[in-house]
A = this chain, B = another copy of it.
């Protein structure tokens, strides 16, 4: 899949596609030639959110794969994503019985924004095994109305992404907004789309990078923490309703840290695991 991009931002989705039903569908639309658009409004201080960029790429690559669900997707973040025309390029490396594996990229302005490797499948089909074992639980969150609503203006840097997403942080984890840090690298909260769009398997890729960095609760200055690489495992199709998320950073050294995420749906099923490698602010 390849192709040049449209020059004008799509108002109602990419031409030739059905009018998208939500902001997220609009903002991640990729046509059959791979043409797409990095939209404004999904950024943190002008840089497009990493999960949003992964979602655009995965939406293109799942068309290449011919399978609907991004089961495991890895992106390496090479250039900041700024609003404008873009394209998803990719090719199938192997079409197997259960998964199709695809290598590809999101490119814009002559640069590779993210390079991607993913395996796509259909999580609605019956699994080969019905064995279940769970050693863990959703984060222990107060009801949404007792959590701290994120707004685009909090915390020093404008976060327009919070106009798209309804994020409510655990009150114990939100003190850094007032300069009060827990000194434990953990941030948990509720998340849903503001326009009511259900969180599907593509949406989980955005969710995996949408809370404030867990390191903001450590004794470092809050600032841009560039992601080197992020991998998301989508483990099930989410039930309707807001998801509960927790992100943790346990190990910071050598100027690098990991952030591990869990996303749980309203029925108490773990629907995604994420891990990213990121850099401390210089």
Contact = CB atoms under 8 A, between A and B. Distances in A.
B280 A129 contact: yes
Given A99-B228, A127-B256, 17 more contacts: A71-B256, A72-B76, A76-B93, A76-B101, A94-B115, A116-B117, A119-B228, A129-B280, A132-B252, A133-B219, A133-B251, A229-B231, A233-B256, A233-B258, A233-B277, A235-B254, A253-B270
Given A135-B250, A236-B253, A280-B129, A78 B94 contact: yes
Contacts of A127: 253-256
Most buried by B among A130, A220, A257, A275: A275
Interface string A97-124: 0010101010000001001111100010
A101 to B, nearest CB: 5
B253 A269 contact: yes
Contacts of A131: 218-220, 252-253, 255, 280
Contacts of A105: 93
A134 B233 contact: no
Contacts of A115: 93-94, 101, 103, 117
Interface of A: 71-72, 74, 76, 78-79, 93-94, 96, 99, 101, 103, 105, 112, 115-119, 123, 127-136, 184-185, 218-220, 228-229, 231, 233, 235-236, 248-258, 269-270, 273, 275, 277, 279-282
Contacts of A220: 129, 131
A258 B279 CA distance: 24
11 contacts: A74-B231, A78-B93, A103-B117, A127-B254, A127-B256, A128-B280, A129-B220, A133-B249, A133-B257, A233-B256, A258-B273
